[in-house]
């Protein structure tokens, strides 16, 4: 029996920015699969290529950025080769995007209801009565009183604006919702509330989620699969719980060590020394080697592949099949 086709399959995706000093690869050879109803988290430091990956998947890149290699196959269709007219048929109806800052994404001089109507009119032929009924329905789904259809964005709190953006993304009940750090401007209580709301909506409606964030702890209890990105590449991918419990890449471990835990003994946060590399001139070998606490000489010269490590895959030479770590230096005797 053949397995069901993937909802989304990204293969070898490369996105480059045209700059005065040459082409800069912000996303370099990324593979990603998403099944129906799955929640996939994408994490990493600022500037690692997370948002560029998201915009490339949604085909929302604008010059000087462009997809220069790879494919984004959604429901059997390669979005990279489609025209803008063909993409507009799929956007909102089959997949939608929730931007990072709702205050910037929403039009400040139009009411929430008017913006919902604009989205519906662009993709469907609804009567005024059906448009209002659907607008009321999606607002109630995210826990907002429909009276706020008459409100302007500045009259809503940050959390309500983000919920309104999610409601707009659900107007046509798409199969995939892509979210670019939707909780970044919220306090921790509002973040938790919004994440619970998203997960409940996903359970209720069955859509898949790609959730981009720099906060590892935010997706720890909500995502099924996790991609860890560094310098434009995926350095670890696998089940979220496995990545958190037994990280296979030193960078993943560094991200985890940078977040405090509310359980267990108090430990000092270590963080990751140094800075991410210049993507216009990435280092030879492993891109993480200048900051890696377990770097070896081969890491400075050989570029690692994506090696299987139990349930996950990791881009680290220490995880290469058959790899033998060099013997530890002898401990000097003390008098």
208-213 and 176-180 strand pairing: parallel
Q: What percent of the chain has pLDDT over 90?
A: 73
Task: Please tell me the predicted confidence (pLDDT) of residue 333.
Answer: 41
pLDDT digits (tens, 9 = 90+) for 257-301: 887 766 667 777 777 888 999 998 999 999 999 999 999 999 999
Of the two residues 69 and 273, the one the predictor is more confident about is 69
Q: Distance (Å, rounded) from C-alpha 176 to C-alpha 198?
A: 13
Q: Is the pLDDT of residue 233 over 50?
A: yes
Q: Distance (Å, rounded) from C-alpha 111 to C-alpha 129?
A: 17
Which of the four pLDDT bands, split at 50, 70 and 90, describes residue 103?
low
Q: Is the pLDDT of residue 69 over 50?
A: yes
Q: Is the pLDDT of residue 30 over 50?
A: yes
Q: Which whole number is the average pLDDT over 20-27?
A: 90
Task: Please tell me the predicted confidence (pLDDT) of residue 270.
Answer: 75
Question: Would you call 173 helix, strand, or coil by DSSP?
Answer: coil
Reduced 3-state DSSP string for 38-59: CEEEEECCCCCCHHHHHHHHHC
pTM here is 0.90
Give Cα 301 to chain centroid, integer Å. 30
CB of 67 closer than 8 Å to CB of 10: no
Q: Is the pLDDT of residue 121 over 50?
A: yes
Average of per-residue pLDDT values in the chain: 90
65-74 and 77-78 strand pairing: antiparallel
Which of the four pLDDT bands, split at 50, 70 and 90, describes residue 185?
confident
Q: Which whole number is the average pLDDT over 237-246?
A: 96
**Domain spans, the chain:** 109-171, 247-319
Task: Please tell me the predicted confidence (pLDDT) of residue 293.
Answer: 93
């Amino acid at each position: 029996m053949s397995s069901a086709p993937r909802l989304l399959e990204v293969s070898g995706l490369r996105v480059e920015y045209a700059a005065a000093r040459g082409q800069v690869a912000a996303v370099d050879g990324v593979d990603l699969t998403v099944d129906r109803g799955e929640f996939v988290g994408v994490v990493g430091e600022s500037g690692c290529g997370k948002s560029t990956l998201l915009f490339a998947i949604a085909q929302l890149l604008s010059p000087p950025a462009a997809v220069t290699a790879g494919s984004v196959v959604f429901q059997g269709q390669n979005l990279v080769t489609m025209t803008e007219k063909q993409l507009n048929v799929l956007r909102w109806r089959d997949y939608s995007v929730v931007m990072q800052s709702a205050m910037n994404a929403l039009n400040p001089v139009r009411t929430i209801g008017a913006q919902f109507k604009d989205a519906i009119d662009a993709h469907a032929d609804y009567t005024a009565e059906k448009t209002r009924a659907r607008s009321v329905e999606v607002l109630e789904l995210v826990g907002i009183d429909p009276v706020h259809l008459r409100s302007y964005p500045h009259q809503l709190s940050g959390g309500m604006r983000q919920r309104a953006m999610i409601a707009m993304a659900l107007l046509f009940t798409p199969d995939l919702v892509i979210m670019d750090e939707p909780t970044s401007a919220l306090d921790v209580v509002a973040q938790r509330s919004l994440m619970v709301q998203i997960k409940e909506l996903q359970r209720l409606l069955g859509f898949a989620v790609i959730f981009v964030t720099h906060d590892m702890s935010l997706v720890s209890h909500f995502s099924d699969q996790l991609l860890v990105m560094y310098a434009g590449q995926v350095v670890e991918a696998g089940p979220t719980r496995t990545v958190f419990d037994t990280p296979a890449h030193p960078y993943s471990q560094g991200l985890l060590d940078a977040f405090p835990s509310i359980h267990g003994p108090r430990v000092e946060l270590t963080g990751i020394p140094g800075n991410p590399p210049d993507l216009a001139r990435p280092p030879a070998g492993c891109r993480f080697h200048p900051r890696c606490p377990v770097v070896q000489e081969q890491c400075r010269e050989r570029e690692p592949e994506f090696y299987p490590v139990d349930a996950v895959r990791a881009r680290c030479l220490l995880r290469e099949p058959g790899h033998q770590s060099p013997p530890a230096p002898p401990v000097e005797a003390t008098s």
